[in-house]
Amino acid sequence: MAELAQTAKKLSAEHNTAAEKRARRARPAEANVLIGLIVIALLFEILGWIFQGQSFLLNKERLSIMILQVSVVGIIAVGMTQVIITGGIDLSAGSVVGATAMIAMSFAQVSTYPRAVFPSMTDMPVIVPLAVGLGCGLLAGLINGSLIAYTKIPPFIATLGMMVTARGIAKWYTKGQPVSFPTDSYAAIGAGMTPVLIFILVAVLFQVILRYTVYGKHTYAIGSNEQAARMSGIKVETHLILVYVIAGLLAGLAGIVLSARGLTAQSGMGVMYELDAIAMAVIGGTSLSGGRGSIVGTTLGMLIFGVIISGFTFLRIDAYYQEMLKGVIIVGAVVLDVYRQRLRGRV
């Protein structure tokens, strides 16, 4: 009898947890991020009326500056999201931005500038610096991916090496001199709201790819259970290389956009961008332990990031505090991720 009662209890307990699970499934992680975004934006709106006597959100100029500021890092974050979903990390993104900016820009200089890096190769069609820049990103990604897939060293170490090396290349390339005076067609890549447009294109493309293609399915599978992925016939090594190559390409693209926008490339460009990109992905619900995340989430994470930075400027809070707060956001997002993991583990 006691046994029977116990079984009944167990059954009803099972029933309860099943119901809870259904309830949880009803709200995807992205919805929580969206709620977070709205809450934070409204908070700044209220603080704006109190301290500045004006609206934070109803200001077209402010919003477009905010989106412009984050969209370059957003391009990196799209690649970073995919890397993190496989359970990896790419610390080299910021340095690749710097190296790509320098190298791509050196092929985009105008002939009227007397101190061009390659005086014989000025006034090139825009496709040349674009191809060179993307090629640099691709190469960096290929090296990252091959190291991780074949030598089995942790992604953290492999990309840390690339981070230092690529920054070194950026500095060595012109012995620390900035590269400036791009052609008009190159400058157009970063002009006005074009960076935002590029981000949107990249984000939509990879949201579709991650959600609807075999590539996406395998990316999640590897991050979820690499052993299972391998047993199921997924070529894990090749796939990882592809993921890091895509991340490298996007970092390269970000470098091109950034240098085109600033009309100059400096070896210090993109420092710490990888951390911002990681933070955007994690705030957007991408799990650092792999298997979960989406570009939609990362985009929302990017907007949260932008709203906070722009909100601080709006409230005239010192830029040093912004820097400090960024650190807190990054750690906070990771703590949140760990907390979410633990919550799931308990069920």
Partner 1 sequence: MAAEQKIILKTEGLTKRYGGVHALEDADFELRDGEHVAVVGDNGAGKSTFVRQITGVEQPTAGNIYFDGQPVEFKNPIEARNHGIETVFQNLALADDLDVPSNLFLGREERYFNLGPFSFLNEKKMLAHTQEALRQTGIKIPDLKNKIRNMSGGQRQCVAISRAASFASKLIIMDEPTAALGVQETAQVENIIRGLKQRGIPLILISHNLRQVFDLVDRIWVFRRGRIVGAVDRDKTDGNEVVSLITGVKSTVSGGEAAFV
Residue 182 region, left (φ>0) first, then alpha (ψ -120 to 50), else beta? beta
- Local structure of 182: helix, strand or coil: strand
Query: What is the nearest approach in angstroms of partner 1 to the Cβ of residue 83?
Result: 16
Closest CB to partner 1 among 100 and 287? 287
Closer to partner 1 by CB, 7 or 177: give it. 7
| 1 versus 347: smaller Cβ distance to partner 1 | 347
- Distance (Å, whole) CA 282 – CA 220: 15
User: Quick check: helix, strand or coil at residue 330?
Assistant: helix
Minimum gap (Å) between residue 346 Cβ and partner 1: 12
Give the nearest distance from C-beta 203 to partner 1 in angstroms: 17
Quote the least distance from Cβ 213 to partner 1, whole Å: 5
Least distance in Å: CB of 284 to partner 1? Answer: 16
Q: How many CB atoms lie within 10 A of CB 29?
A: 18
According to DSSP, the residues that pair with 264 across neighbouring strands are 180
Closer CB to partner 1, residue 234 or residue 247?
A: 234
Binding positions for partner 1, rule: CB under 8 A:
7, 10, 14, 18, 21-22, 24-25, 209, 212-215, 217-218, 220-221, 223-225, 227-229, 231-234, 239, 242, 291-292, 344, 347
Burial category of 149 from C-beta neighbours within 10 Å (exposed 0-12, middle 13-18, buried 19 and up): buried
Is the CB of 152 or the CB of 175 nearer to partner 1? 152
Closer to partner 1 by Cβ: residue 221 or 281: 221
- Cβ of 197: how many Cβ atoms within 10 Å? 11
Tell the smallest beta-carbon distance from residue 76 to partner 1 (Å).
21
